[in-house]
Amino acid sequence: MHIGKSQKGPVMCLNFVQGGRCSVNGSSCLLGPNGASARNEEGLCELHGRFDVWLTQENDLLISDLGFPSDDPKQCLALGINRNIAEEIAEKKVSELGTKILTTKHECIRCSKPFWTSEHDQSSPLARTGQSYLCSECINKMNEEGTVKKMGVLQYWCG
């Protein structure tokens, strides 16, 4: 996979393989020759999204919306794809390996609802730390007394 870089980030689809193929599904690029210059964050391809699928050193599958994992992965299976495709890829590979799926999904400290960090509005003034603890629905309610108590010292890092 050849990835070109500019100061604004990748200049091509992260899953575009030389020869016009897609590393996600193995077929011809859905955007044709334009796939070489389609950036994942533009969402031009129906496969694009904010999720990556990694094979960890322990042979577990990691679905992440946080970018490169903190532990060095063994293999990347897909970059910058939508959640449904990420889950399909992970489920297929997990059945081959007989292992488990891990995710970077969080549980909101206010309402206990599971959420993905990528669900947040990226222009939110809330720091990334806050986006890891509160779901997008609860961020606007952060000033409520119960939430402030639950966040403790983290409230100072989150605003």
Do the Cβ atoms of 4 and 11 come closer than 8 Å? yes
Listed residue (52, 40, 46) closest to 10, CA to CA:
40
Between vectors from CA 105 to CA 44 and to CA 142, what angle results, nearest 5°? 100
Whether the pTM exceeds 0.85: the reply is no
Instruction: Name residue 34's beta-bridge partners.
Output: none
Quick: pLDDT tens for 99-150: 999 999 999 988 899 998 887 766 555 555 667 788 888 876 665 555 556 6
Quick: pLDDT tens for 51-64: 999 999 888 999 99
